[in-house]
Amino acid sequence: MLLKNDRNTFTGTQFSFIGNAYAGTGDGYAGIHMNAGSSYNIVDNVSFLYLKNVANECPGCMHGVYIADQSHHNTVKNSTFQGITGDPVRLRRSSSDNLIDHNQFRRSGTNAMVSYWVHAKDGSFHCGARNTVTNNTYSTMSDETKPGIIVTSGADEGMTSCPAAIPTVTGNTRA
């Protein structure tokens, strides 16, 4: 679902079996994609199950919630992310003041459960700031041989170039 507006609420909803692993062609990108300044949205008690792109067609491009392009003050809480080939929550391009809280992440993620993506080398995008990742439970990555990582960069130098993008990472527990 692509959002380009504000103040949407998703509660008690399920997004499942999305991506080219099921559709056969074209890459899937997200269960919920907040874009173009989509702000003040709430994702509460939502299940994101088996969102997958196949190995040779951008598995890392699939996310449960993708918060991009100056989208601010969004909340993702009390939700379940399972079997997602890309990072379950991806923040990108100047998105700030978003809260990721009290979620469960299982067998998901290429880089981490929550990642910040920026192409800092060309300087065309400003960094986001003050995003918070707290009180989440997480297990292994989508490749179950990798231990779970709660937060990292989704692109080369993303977090190194934008250390203020996700400054608060507390109370998260590896299951």
Across the beta sheet with 14-18, the strand order is 14-18, 47-51, 80-82, 104-106, 137-138, 173-174
Domain hosting residue 133, numbered range: 2-174
Residue-level pLDDT at 15: 97
Q: How far is CA 83 from the centre of its chain?
A: 13
Q: Are 127 and 162 in contact (CB under 8 A)?
A: yes
Q: How far is CA 171 from the centre of its chain?
A: 18
In whole angstroms, what is the distance from residue 135 CA to residue 169 CA? Answer: 9
pTM higher than 0.85 for the full model?
yes
Rounded to 5 degrees, φ, ψ at 38 are -75, 110
Residue 106's DSSP bridge partners are 82
Rounded to 5 degrees, φ, ψ at 158 are -55, -55
Residue-level pLDDT at 67: 96
Residue-level pLDDT at 121: 60
10-residue block means of pLDDT along the chain (175 residues)? 93 96 86 95 98 88 94 98 96 93 95 82 73 94 82 66 82 93
Q: Are 30 and 62 in contact (CB under 8 A)?
A: yes
Closest listed residue to residue 95, CA positions, set 113, 68, 116: 68
Residue-level pLDDT at 31: 97
Total domain count for the chain? 1
The residue type of 133 is V
Residue-level pLDDT at 62: 95
